[in-house]
Structure 1
Amino acid sequence: MHYLKVERGLSANTVASYRNDLQTFALYLAEQNLSYQSVTKDDVLAYLQKEMDTGKTNATIIHRITSLRKFYQYLVQDQIVTQNPMLLIDTPKKQQHLPEVLTTKEVETLLNTPNTGQALGMRDRAILEVMYATGLRVSEIVNLKLNDLHLSLGIIQTIGKGQKERIIPIGDVAIHWLEQYLQLSRPKLLKNKRSPYLFLNFHGNQLTRQGIWKNLKKQVQQAGITKEVSPHTLRHSFATHILENGADLRIVQELLGHADISTTQIYTHLSKRRLAEIYNQAHPRA
């Protein structure tokens, strides 16, 4: 894991997901009385088949293969093993899955849900506004620090995947709610403590990813939204809505922090789907 963090520069969340994959593989090897040094291609295929038989998704299987590939590359590189069983293992094609996206009306309803008369409600409104205004990942939101804000310039800086820094513009509405949170709510949550982090929990400590998930679940329920909504849904909605309003795909790639534009292209499919929905509603012979 030190190799992944230091030499590969991967984020803590990515390292944790690799650790989980390798622990699952290690349990399988123990069940089969195998060691990772003696593993063959057939052993890996048997392991992957077992994972599929237990209902693991296509995306999970792809992630398992990626983790094992990196693991054995490391073992060969450090001469811990001489044979790499992953060399002849093909990665299955990723299933095209269009993420759930909120309509602009649903976003508006969700943003208006928190009770801004309370410190936590003001914080939650600011979080939702920033997520929708910037498309930040939930891990980027919880790691935002006060010195990452440049509100007079209308920008936020963040460290994304692969420790890559990016600068993101933020709109006036989100800036307004951030300023309200900073003036009226954050001092109450801080409770005479000191913290470099922007978003705090009730005890004045850094808010966690799990905290945002839990709060969002309640807010979605209160808003009467029946779709499956996660923090990533706001990121998807951000990207889809700005594309629908004429943004260039390369700009969206830059804003989202995607290394490869093929990752961003899924949002063009979402925009086309929305276009088809509007056509079907509007055309008399559709």
Structure 2
Amino acid sequence: MEKLQEQVTAFLNELSEQQHLSVNTIDAYRNDIAQYMYFLSDQQGCSDWLRVDDLMVRKYFYWIQDQGSAAATVARKATAVRRFHRYLVSCHIRPDDPTYLMDTPKVTLHHLEVLSYPQIEQLLDAPDSGTATGCRDLAMLELLYATGMHVSELIQLNVNDVHLDMGFVHCGGKKGRERVLPIGKKAEAALRHYIEDGRENVPEDECALFVNRRCRRLSRQGIWKILKQYAAIAGINQQLSPETLRQSLAAHLLENGADVLSVEMLMGRTSTLFAQRFSHTAKPLLKDFYRLYHPRA
């Protein structure tokens, strides 16, 4: 088992240091490959990566499917196993890839839940900005909808990442990417109120922008809980998450006439070759695009 673990540790280090994947993504890879290692060792008596063949790989996926794993889960685990074996080949630890002919489970794409703009207004009207907690929550919800940032980006924000006079926020994106995002007047006003009046009890040396009652950086779970609380107050019964606000923003921008490329640039999606090719022109154009199409600009 130790022999198997050595290469896994090196692989995870490369994901972190060379490819700059997020901590959550690396943890997912670690857990998926740990399960794969357990199967090889416990079910197949295999303690050397050189002994793994395509039959063992297929047996592993039959095994996790028999345990009732959803297709999306199996597909994620397949990605982890395939990527790890490609790493072993690239490092000349083994000459071939036993996952080369492996079929990846097909995942059914679910319809994205989005809120209508009236629902967004009801949600943003729910916090009581007269209290410190409500002031924080309003600023947080306004910022999520203003920028379409990921919740992982939101929780990493520090006070000095917010530049109210210039109308933008600086955030660290996925894989080490950094983004400068414009914010509208509504979000700017909510953030100013929170930073100037809603953080009176927060120690001066606490740099995190959004903190909990113990003055510690808010967690992903904490933000999820806050969002559900205000959804209930606003009478929104559908399933809601920070990603819902992100997808709702994209839908509303497109409904207002924004082009797909500009929306992708704002949302930080870099899969489009055209968007990558013209990324150097994104910064001066993004603010104009934002003023034209964002419903709360």
TM over 0.5: yes
Structure 1 residue ranges without an equivalent (≥5)? 265-286
Matched, 1:102 2:102: no
Q: Which residue does the alignment assign to 2:222?
A: 211
1: distance between equivalents of 2:167 and 2:223?
24
Listed one character per residue, the Cα deviations across residues 59-111 of structure 1 (whole Å, up to 9, x for unaligned) are 22221111112211222222333332111113344422221111112111111
Of the three residues 241, 245, 255, the one matched with 2:266 is 255
Aligned to 2:279: none
Match of 1:180 among 193, 212, 223: 193
Unaligned runs of 5+ in 2: 1-11, 276-297
In the alignment, structure 1 residue 196 sits paired with structure 2 residue 207 = yes
Give 2:47's aligned amino acid.
S
Alpha-carbon distance in 1 for matches of 2:30, 2:199: 35
Q: Counterpart of 1:48?
A: 61
Displacement of 1:254 in angstroms is 0.6
Post-superposition shift, 1:217?
2.1
Structure 2 equivalent of residue 270 of structure 1: none
**Aligned residues between the structures:** 261
Contact 1:159 1:165 in 2 (8 A): yes
Superposed displacement of residue 207, structure 1 = 1.2
- Structural mapping, 1:137-156, within 5 Å: 137-156=150-169
1:220 aligns with 2:234: no
Q: Within 2, Cα distance between the matches of 1:36 and 1:180?
A: 59
Q: Percent identity?
A: 40
Aligned partners of 2:254, 2:193: CA distance in 1, in Å? 29
TM-score (norm 1): 0.85
What letter corresponds to residue 141 of structure 1 in structure 2?
L
Q: Please list the CA deviations of residues 7-35 of structure 1 after superposition, one character each: whole Å capped at 9, or x if unmatched.
A: 11111121122112112222322330333
Match of 1:281 in 2: none
Per the alignment, do residues 111 and 42 of structure 1 end up closer, same or farther by CA in structure 2, a change over 3 Å counting?
Answer: same
Segments of 4+ moved more than 6 angstroms:
none
The letter of the residue matching 2:235 is G
The answer to whether the 8 A contact 1:51-1:61 is kept is yes
Q: 1:67 to 1:128 in 2, by over 3 A?
A: same
Letter in 2 for 1:34: C
Which residue of 149, 153, 158 maps to 1:136?
A: 149
Question: Partner amino acid for 1:132?
Answer: Y
Candidates 15, 36, 45, aligned match of 1:25: 36
Contact 1:134 / 1:255 at 8 angstroms: preserved in 2?
Answer: yes
Q: Does 1:34 align with 2:49?
A: no
| Matched-pair contact (CA < 8 Å) for 1:28–1:47 | yes
Q: CA deviation at 1:170?
A: 0.8
Q: Is contact 1:154-1:169 (8 Å) kept?
A: yes
Q: CA RMSD in A?
A: 1.9
Q: Distance in 2 between matches of 1:31 and 1:193?
A: 53
Q: Within 2, Cα distance between the matches of 1:187 and 1:26? A: 51
Per the alignment, residue 283 of structure 1 pairs with none
* Stretch of structure 1 that moved more, 234-243 or 65-74: 65-74
